[in-house]
Structure 1
């Protein structure tokens, strides 16, 4: 008889703990933040990693002695890494069935299971307990809600739903999932009737909503899942008449969120981020993530394919958390062209995006795909001689400035991603 009330109390306490922690560490000093990380990791080792057979040999070691892993390694060792005795095959079966049926309520016992989109070539699992979901909800609400003491209606446009997101629902919070596997325009009537106070969607969906002009008045706009490009950001901001915020979340954790000033910060009260430098002079790095709050599926020194650019300028919000200037995409979004010495030179996707937008004022959509060491396939809408000539001229100037050989350009009309796929502007398919 007492089991249910006790369980409810634990969930409420987890929610409150997540909420308070998010508020407490927002304005702490950098030194205090690092001290908190050290203490939290030691607790994490003794309470969580001690339950994982994969990490038994490292319990007496510092974080730097733990192995750096990626999605492939993590998935291959999922059964040994998780602390609940979960089977990867069974978890995948549940997640894939949910994807196919569009019913995201089934769980693996008390654990919610989600599936990543697999843009890196490997699909990842996300497993969370009820307590973890409650704590995440409290933390997320403290970070994301414009006025957490008022009732809110959240509209969430994503490829897949998850009980993690549903955990934000409460007496004062309504949550509605809009499935991106369904045609966007078919959601407009329901969206207008719901009239969300918070609108959360990938950048490309937010931009397409602007074109459909729904009659809604959200108090906060949050872009997720895709790179938020500056020209899209301006169009979305102009249509809705407010700043566009970002949430940096993936199957590996809730990694970052915009502050009140609209600048993206890493959630370093919950995670430790080590930097694998790609271009230290320009502050480009790939993050190595250790999540201090994941207890069912530990994330320890997990190398992401993302390319982040740090902004070392102090933020006016006063946060000591690392400030991110931009998320440029994945490492596969970095092109490689040859210089005169026949050496590979990295061409960052931000260079390509900015060049195309700066030279084509009337372009609606585009994609650049490097299919060979000296060939770029460029899709665009409108597909016109004016746009193809402007793109060619702009890229030639860029490549001359970077001292690389000009590639061959193959132009064709833009093809939209399949429903539910993330939009990627710049892609390198050849290795």
Structure 2
């Protein structure tokens, strides 16, 4: 059961924190105190972490061994502090998804499943106290006008949750839109109820934008918030053109509420509730993998957790003046970094007659953002696209055009831009197969750039 006073407390505290720290150093000193207090509590209450940190002092928390989703799920029973087993939690979450009834809890704890885009679905646990804290924090960060204003919020999600339902407070009305329901029904309800805040995956927002362009949707929201999927530059532009406003973002996953955009549209990490270290994978281009320590969650402690996401640090501080780290872009997942064969500097093309020799060569990383920009720059008529890598020498590119431009001409342009991109990395352009784009939003997240193979361990990675 939610506690309105507790929600209000966290709402006011979050809004106050936004103006509390005058500089980055003050924020980091405060974070250090919060993490040390949290680590001390977790060591006493979570059997897994006691063993995981054995022989290491609390003050050395930055040197604690990292965990990831695999470790968290394997050690679920000993990692959580509310006495739930993985089997119990998973059974409840799966039954909720089967029946589409997301209200059941266990001992007051909200249980949910991640979408499992990496093939490994994660469980999350949220206590009543944490649910209230989340609600107050989300409202403070996403509703700059405050709680005195009335809003009707439309959530388009794969699965509902008591966590999301808790947003329904005071003058706020909440409506869950199930992504398993046909799009025509969503359009009808939007026209009837006219919610003024839309929260949805980027692929669904894109369909709403397409419907608006086609005259099938006439209502326009006051605020649009993209969640759950990477917001592709192509989709962002089409959505903003359709509704004549900025698309805001929430960066949230099983591991926590990690970021939100400010009024300038810049994504800031929520460093008032999480500490985030950066593991750089391309420091020159400011790309890093976040390692998070959430000092606000106790039911399922997340400490030194290595995410699978690729973030790009903003080159300049945000004009809003926030001390929280500004992120230029969430690029995708590490699993979707493509890999191509390295060529000698004097080689220009893939040499089929030396195929075995080529297969023994190191692999060069090709980041999703670079692939995205190469594809969408090939033609202004590219309306949708998806790039799938099946092996180091096989790419599949699915796309849809909005106009009458020749597909042969567009494909030649895509091929040329990817060839130039690969050449700049001294890599071989894979063979490319083109096809029709046919993705529809639903239970599976859209990944514009996706790698469906895993490099062998004995193949070198550059």
Shorter-chain TM-score tier: over 0.9
**Contact 1:26–1:319 (CA under 8 A) maintained in structure 2:** yes
**Contact 1:36–1:269 (CA under 8 A) maintained in structure 2:** no
- 1:371 corresponds to which residue? 390
Does the alignment pair 1:292 with 2:295?
A: yes
- Unmatched segments (≥5 aa) in structure 1: 1-6
What is the distance in 2 between the residues matched to 1:312 and 1:66?
30
Deviation at 1:147, TM superposition (A): 1.6
SS at match of 1:301: strand
Once superposed, what is the RMSD of the aligned Cα atoms? Answer: 1.6
- 1:230 corresponds to which residue? 233
Correspondence 1:115-194 to 2 at 5 A: 115-148=113-146, 149-194=148-193
- 1:390 corresponds to which residue? 413
Deviation at 1:217, TM superposition (A): 2.7
Q: Which one of the candidate residues 36, 43, 48 is aligned to 2:37?
A: 43
What is the distance in 2 between the residues matched to 1:65 and 1:379?
44
> CA 1:184–1:49 in 2, change beyond 3 Å: closer, same or farther?
farther
Which sits farther off after the overlay, 369-378 or 73-82?
Answer: 369-378
Deviation at 1:13, TM superposition (A): 4.1
Deviation at 1:417, TM superposition (A): 4.9
**Contact 1:335–1:346 (CA under 8 A) maintained in structure 2:** yes
- Unmatched segments (≥5 aa) in structure 2: 345-360, 455-462
What is the distance in 2 between the residues matched to 1:26 and 1:315?
14
Q: Which one of the candidate residues 410, 428, 435 is aligned to 1:412?
A: 435
Q: Which one of the candidate residues 254, 274, 281 is aligned to 1:251?
A: 254
Q: Which one of the candidate residues 14, 17, 41 is aligned to 1:22?
A: 14
What is the distance in 2 between the residues matched to 1:115 and 1:174?
25
What is the distance in 2 between the residues matched to 1:259 and 1:316?
10
SS at match of 2:302: coil
**Contact 2:204–2:441 (CA under 8 A) maintained in structure 1:** no
Q: Which one of the candidate residues 267, 271, 274 is aligned to 1:268?
A: 271
**Contact 1:14–1:132 (CA under 8 A) maintained in structure 2:** no
SS at match of 1:379: strand
Alignment size in residue pairs: 423
TM-score (norm 1): 0.95
What is the distance in 1 between the residues matched to 2:292 and 2:103?
28
SS at match of 2:434: strand
Does the alignment pair 1:355 with 2:374?
A: yes
Which sits farther off after the overlay, 374-383 or 61-70?
Answer: 374-383
SS at match of 2:298: coil
CA offsets, 1:137-156, max 9 Å, x none?
01110000142220111101
TM-score (norm 2): 0.88
CA offsets, 1:74-117, max 9 Å, x none?
00001001001101111000001111111101111201111000
Deviation at 1:241, TM superposition (A): 1.3
Which sits farther off after the overlay, 14-23 or 200-209?
Answer: 14-23
What is the distance in 2 between the residues matched to 1:201 and 1:257?
14
Correspondence 1:323-338 to 2 at 5 A: 323-338=326-341
What is the distance in 1 between the residues matched to 2:298 and 2:6?
13
